[in-house]
Structures are given as structure tokens and as C-alpha cells.
A and B are shown apart, each in its own frame.
Chain A
């Protein structure tokens, strides 16, 4: 069995750690490139959303490298993602690519359900081994999130363009190689301090933007046109409402692990959106409110074009914008998103926030 999975930010490193711990042969898809996207666009239905297209591209490229089994998460609630694994199977079968799909769906009531699904892959391993593997993978996940958080915060302060990203990259590689909880944590601390030791400019007071939206497009830089990087280089301190470890915990472990959850976020959203609308619609609304309360200067909502939960969220965000006096920019992405147009909108948004902030500070004086 040669197992592969779709990319989503740093998830590759985490899944690889999990599967290798269980002695499975892993064939990660090559990093997402233009080729990945064009393969996905060619074989996926045109109206499907960007995550599906990139997933298909990942699977095709992984199959080319010999993968025969896919492991991926499923979705619940009124979002198309829930049936994407069936759609993907059909598309690949039509293409003559034979991949077995193992779908990890969020457990309905008990964590044991998830473990049972993992067991399909693990064969004869003891529960103890399985849990140990999950623990290792999860520690990696948290370490990567910590590095990512710091990179988003520091990028706007670097003197030399690219320094933060280079150190961040080295950090990810080191964590990828680390094989025990101890070494992972040592890597994490090491690269966090290396990043902090870079030549940084701490004199300015940068504009702060929070990113909310659909999980794939928030987590996978390729899908959002490397938005966090671009914003950092425009001098913006960036924060994200969603990190992989939080999602894994809430989605797969039913919030069992000691990780910040989104219960509070969803509660904040209820005056505007009283029930779940699938995907991360409710979290997008609540996240925007959280950022406003924390004194951020603006919020960017990002989602795939035609993403229903995000469209619902977008329709109530103007009220949040007004009630909390915080500008919100919505950006939908698909394979036709031009990088130039995206940059122009980001620049204009940052300009707008800077002028607003400047004015507020003057008024306060």
C-alpha cells in the first residue's frame, strides 16, 4: 500500500509523520504548482470549487509517483465538500486511475469511531502504537502552527525581503525530519528564536489584519495567491483565525485536546448567523468580530468562488462591519484569479486601513 493525501498548507508534514509512524509507505504529492492546478482544472467539473480542483491535481500527480491509496478528510453539513471524495473517486476512475479512498469523517458521537477508521490503514498495530503515532503527528502540527504564527507576525518587520520565510522554511524542514516529541519541541524553540534573532525593525506600528474564511483557502498559500506573504511585504502584521491543529482537534478529535477552540467564536456569530451553515461560515462571522474586539485594523475574508457557507457569511458581514466599525474585504479565489488584480485589491485595502488608522490616531491626540 502506497498512501498519499491532498495538500493543505503544512498538513503534508503532519500526515506523513502519522502514516510513517504506522509503518505505511507514504508517497506525498509533489508541492502544488501551476501544473497541479491545470491538471485539476482539466479533469474536474468547471463549476467545482478550487479545493476540489487542487485535490484532483494532487491525486493525479501522486498516482504518477506510484500512490495507490488516498487518505483524506470528509466534510459534514451543507457544504459540497462532504461528497467531494465520491466525486473525486468517479473522476479518477473515469481517467483510468485506480486509487483507494479512505475518508476520515468527523466522528458522530465518539472518538472511537475515528480510531476505527484509522485502523483500516493500520492493520495489526496495537492501539498503543496508533495513539503514539497520533500524538507525534499532533505535536508536529502544533509546532508548525507556532512557526507559522510567528512568521505572519514578523514578516512585516524584516529588513531583508525573504529572511523570515527562509528561516520559517528551514524550521518546517527540521520539524519534518524530527522523529520524537522532544526533538520536535527543540526544533520549534530553536527556529522560533532564530526568527526572532533576524534583523528586524521593531520601531513601526504596523496595520494589523485578521484573515477569516474557508479552511482550505485560508490554510493553503497557493490557493490564496500567497496572501499572507504579500500582506507581510506590504507592511502588515497578519493573524489567521484558523490553524491546522485547531481544526484537527475540533474536527477529528471533537475538541478533546487542550487547544484553543472556536466555540466562543461561533457564539459571537450567533446574533448575525444563528446556526451552522456548513464549512466555516459561522466561524468567519465570529472571527471577524473577535478581531474587531482585539483591536485589529481590518479583516479579510477568503473563500473559493461559489463557496456557499462563505457567501452566507459575506451577506451578514456588512452588518458586523458597521456594528464593530471594522473594514472587511472579501476575496474569492479560483483558477482565474489574476495575481495582479489580487495584489491591487490587497494594496488598496492596506492603504485604506493605514489612512484610517492615521486619522484615528490624529483625532485621539
Chain B
């Protein structure tokens, strides 16, 4: 379905569905953030997308949406449900958003719940990036865990770190060692602010060692992702890099912002038409199912999205047979040509 937008004041919907959070933003034509919703994914991405959409549906009409962009690890799912005009990976969307909000940015530090990224830009184009998806010691959930163990609300964490006189050095290569080392330092009687500041510095060291190896990190430097709210982490980065670090206002939803910006670009290029399916999708009966295909040794995990008993998308198959079985692009000419060949 392709619909025409209300050309007066189109808004662009950006959706970032990750393993920890599901974020939705609405941007206006100038790129200003009008709405920013931050939901916990809690292992139910489909429900959360619909919930976020329902929240927006109360105040906006279908015609106001000029374009939709999806990103995050569940971007394909989001794009199928919403009818996205563009689907992009998190690195591209984060870079696009940072470039818009902080003109001239050359380095992006990003720490989310489950992963972290380092993105370098030259003249507004990504020139290099690194992504960490395996080391838990460099991510937000590790900070959360430690805050919980110290019985501190995560919001107070950063403030306390700022009061440190002598941050203690904590082994930060691996979350298991970091934790036991921290317990040890506590037992030795170090002050809590010093320990927390030390923890932030360990995280930063871990980040820079894992992702920054051999790369020149030049300013302006932007720090984004959920962990950027933590003043202790910002300070630790500044100390390690010897350079001021900017935390943009919408640092938590940068992926969604980038997706919305890319949607604006795509729709403008396509002459102003969007594939947005409408807010009604918030209450549609949509389900996701999956099965293991046994037709060849690949044993692909095929995912299928069903809307009101009708399959609307399939992916995960390497051979394309399940995906193609739905695709309308299978022209007759192509089918004939293939039949002839075999």
C-alpha cells in the first residue's frame, strides 16, 4: 500500500527495536524531535511496536505521517508491521542522527544495554566503525547489575562518581573479573564514590581497548545510547580522551532519530509517497511464528509474520524459497527463464 502524505506538515516516524529497548520518535520536516517514546522490549518486540504505535495513535492521524524508517536488531519485523520506507542497520542510523544533531561530529561513542559501538566520520560520511556484541563488561547492563548489587538507583550512580577524589583502578577486561575486583576493593575499605568512578573508568578502558584499537578519536566527540545519561561515564571518557564529550539531548533514541531522518530522505527522493500502513496496525492481529526448514542441510530458521490469518512476510531462509513464495516480484518472464534452464 502506498499513500500520499499530508503535504502541510509531514512528520517522520523512526522506530528502533533492540533487545533491551524499543524506541519511537516523530520528527518534523526540519528534523526537530516532536515525540520520543522509550519502551522496554522485554523480549516482546512485536507487542512493544504495537504499544508504541497505539500511544502515538491517540494524538496523530495517518495522513500526518510522511514516512517511516526502521532500525535495530528487530528492524525487519518493525518494517513489516509498520510498512517502512527504509530499513537500516544501527550503525548507519546512529551516524546519521549524530551528524544532524551535532554538525561536524567526527567520533561517536555509543553504549547501549547489550552492545557498544564506535563510529568515526569524515566529512559527514562514516569512515570506520567497530561494534562489540560479545563482551558484557563494556555495556550498559553491566553497569545496571553493579548498581543493583550496590543497591544504588542507576540515576544516582553517575552523580556519585563525580564526587570521587581518587578513583580506584578496577580490572575491566571482563565482567567476571571486574565484579570480583570491585568486591575486593570494597572490602579493602575504599570509598563508594571512588569505587564507582573506578568502575566507570574500567568500562571506558574496556570500550577503548575493544573498539578503539589503533584508531584516532578526534573531536567533536558525541556520546550516545542509554549509558550516556550517566555523568560518571561521560567524565571518564573525557578524562581518557582528553577531549570534551557532547551528550545530545535525545541520546537515548538516536537510532530512531536516524531512521526517521533516512525516511525523510527516502520519501523525498521517491516523490513524497510513503508505505506507512497506518495507525490501525496497532490493533491488528499480528503474530510471528517460526519453524526449522528441513529441505536441505542448512536447516534455516524461517520466520513468518501473519496478519489476520494471512502470511505477510517471511525471512531467514538462505535459499530464498520461502521468501520468494510470497514475493510478488516473481515476474512471469523470470519464472519461465528459470524453468527453461533446469
Q: Contacts A33-B299, A348-B126 given: A198-B338 contact, CB under 8 Å? A: yes
Q: Is the CB of B329 within 8 A of A347?
A: no
Q: In the complex, what's the smallest C-beta–C-beta distance from A207 to chain B, in angstroms?
A: 14
Q: Is the CB of A348 within 8 A of B129?
A: yes
Q: Is the CB of A344 within 8 A of B341?
A: no
- 8 nearest CB pairs, A to B: A162-B320, A348-B91, A161-B320, A31-B297, A347-B89, A341-B133, A352-B126, A199-B334
> What are some 23 contacts across the A-B interface (CB < 8 A)?
A33-B299, A160-B338, A162-B324, A165-B319, A170-B342, A198-B338, A226-B318, A315-B214, A327-B128, A338-B133, A341-B131, A341-B133, A343-B89, A344-B73, A344-B89, A344-B131, A348-B90, A349-B129, A351-B92, A351-B126, A355-B125, A359-B123, A359-B125
B337 within 8 A of A: yes
B2 within 8 A of A: no
Q: Is the CB of B324 within 8 A of A161?
A: yes
A-contact bits for B126-157, CB 8 A (1 contact / 0 none):
11110101100000000000000000000000
B330 within 8 A of A: yes
Could you say which residues of chain B place their CB within 8 Å of the CB of A338?
A: 133
CB-CB contacts below 8 Å: A194-238 with B: 194, 197-199, 226, 229
Interface residues of A, dominant DSSP: helix
**Which positions in B face A, CB cutoff 8 Å?**
73, 88-92, 115, 123, 125-129, 131, 133-134, 214-215, 297-299, 318-321, 323-324, 327, 329-331, 333-334, 337-338, 341-342
Could you say which residues of chain A place their CB within 8 Å of the CB of B123?
A: 359
Q: Which residue of A lies closest to B320 (CB)?
A: A162
Compute how far the CA of A120 lies from the CA of B342 in the bound complex, rounded to whole angstroms.
42
Could you say which residues of chain A place their CB within 8 Å of the CB of B214?
A: 315, 318
A345 within 8 A of B: yes
A356 within 8 A of B: yes
B-contact bits for A331-365, CB 8 A (1 contact / 0 none):
00000101011011101110110011001000000
A163 within 8 A of B: yes
Interface residues of B, dominant DSSP: loop
Q: Is the CB of A340 within 8 A of B73?
A: yes
Q: In the complex, what's the smallest C-beta–C-beta distance from A154 to chain B, in angstroms?
A: 13
Q: Is the CB of B324 within 8 A of A30?
A: no
B-contact bits for A152-185, CB 8 A (1 contact / 0 none):
0000000111110111001000000000000000
A65 within 8 A of B: no
Q: In the complex, what's the smallest C-beta–C-beta distance from A357 to chain B, in angstroms?
A: 10
Could you say which residues of chain A place their CB within 8 Å of the CB of B126?
A: 348, 351-352, 355
Interface centre among B88, B321, B324, B338 (most CB of A within 10 A): B338
Of B125, B318, B341, the contact of A356 (CB 8 Å cutoff):
B125
Q: Is the CB of A160 within 8 A of B73?
A: no
Q: Is the CB of B329 within 8 A of A160?
A: yes
Compute how far the CA of A163 lies from the CA of B115 in the bound complex, rounded to whole angstroms.
36
Q: Is the CB of B91 within 8 A of A344?
A: yes
Q: In the complex, what's the smallest C-beta–C-beta distance from A42 to chain B, in angstroms?
A: 18
Q: Which residue of B lies closest to A305 (CB)?
A: B134
Q: Which residue of B lies closest to A356 (CB)?
A: B125
Q: Is the CB of A30 within 8 A of B297?
A: yes
Q: In the complex, what's the smallest C-beta–C-beta distance from B148 to chain A, in angstroms?
A: 26
Could you say which residues of chain B place their CB within 8 Å of the CB of A343?
A: 89
Q: Contacts A33-B297, A327-B128 given: A351-B88 contact, CB under 8 Å? A: yes
Q: Contacts A344-B73, A347-B92, A351-B92 given: A199-B318 contact, CB under 8 Å? A: no
Could you say which residues of chain B place their CB within 8 Å of the CB of A226?
A: 318
Q: Which residue of A lies closest to B91 (CB)?
A: A348
Compute how far the CA of A356 lies from the CA of B330 in the bound complex, rounded to whole angstroms.
32
Q: Is the CB of A162 within 8 A of B131?
A: no
Could you say which residues of chain B place their CB within 8 Å of the CB of A340?
A: 73
Q: Which residue of A lies closest to B299 (CB)?
A: A33
Could you say which residues of chain B place their CB within 8 Å of the CB of A117?
A: none
Q: Is the CB of B134 within 8 A of A197?
A: no
Q: In the complex, what's the smallest C-beta–C-beta distance from B123 to chain A, in angstroms?
A: 8
A149 within 8 A of B: no
Q: Which residue of B lies closest to A170 (CB)?
A: B342
Could you say which residues of chain A place their CB within 8 Å of the CB of B131?
A: 341, 344-345, 348
Could you say which residues of chain B place their CB within 8 Å of the CB of A315?
A: 214
Interface centre among B89, B131, B331 (most CB of A within 10 A): B89
Q: In the complex, what's the smallest C-beta–C-beta distance from B318 to chain A, in angstroms?
A: 6
Q: Is the CB of A166 within 8 A of B297?
A: no
A34 within 8 A of B: yes
Of B127, B318, B334, the contact of A159 (CB 8 Å cutoff):
B334
Could you say which residues of chain B place their CB within 8 Å of the CB of A318?
A: 214-215
Compute how far the CA of A287 lies from the CA of B188 in the bound complex, rounded to whole angstroms.
53
Q: Which residue of B lies closest to A338 (CB)?
A: B133
Of A34, A163, A351, the contact of B338 (CB 8 Å cutoff):
A163
Compute how far the CA of A226 lies from the CA of B297 in the bound complex, rounded to whole angstroms.
14
Q: Which residue of B lies closest to A359 (CB)?
A: B125
Compute how far the CA of A177 lies from the CA of B181 in the bound complex, rounded to whole angstroms.
61
Q: In the complex, what's the smallest C-beta–C-beta distance from A229 to chain B, in angstroms?
A: 7
Q: Is the CB of B341 within 8 A of A197?
A: yes
Compute how far the CA of A356 lies from the CA of B127 in the bound complex, rounded to whole angstroms.
8
Q: In the complex, what's the smallest C-beta–C-beta distance from A347 to chain B, in angstroms?
A: 4
Could you say which residues of chain A place their CB within 8 Å of the CB of B73?
A: 340, 344
Q: Contacts A160-B329, A344-B73 given: A197-B125 contact, CB under 8 Å? A: no
Compute how far the CA of A354 lies from the CA of B318 in the bound complex, rounded to whole angstroms.
24
Compute how far the CA of A55 lies from the CA of B134 in the bound complex, rounded to whole angstroms.
24
Interface centre among A32, A166, A226, A352 (most CB of B within 10 A): A352
Q: In the complex, what's the smallest C-beta–C-beta distance from B122 to chain A, in angstroms?
A: 9
B-contact bits for A27-62, CB 8 A (1 contact / 0 none):
000111110000000000000000000000000000
Q: In the complex, what's the smallest C-beta–C-beta distance from A346 to chain B, in angstroms?
A: 9
Of A197, A347, A352, A359, the contact of B337 (CB 8 Å cutoff):
A197
Known: A162-B319, A349-B129. 4 other contacts (CB 8 A): A31-B297, A166-B319, A341-B115, A345-B131
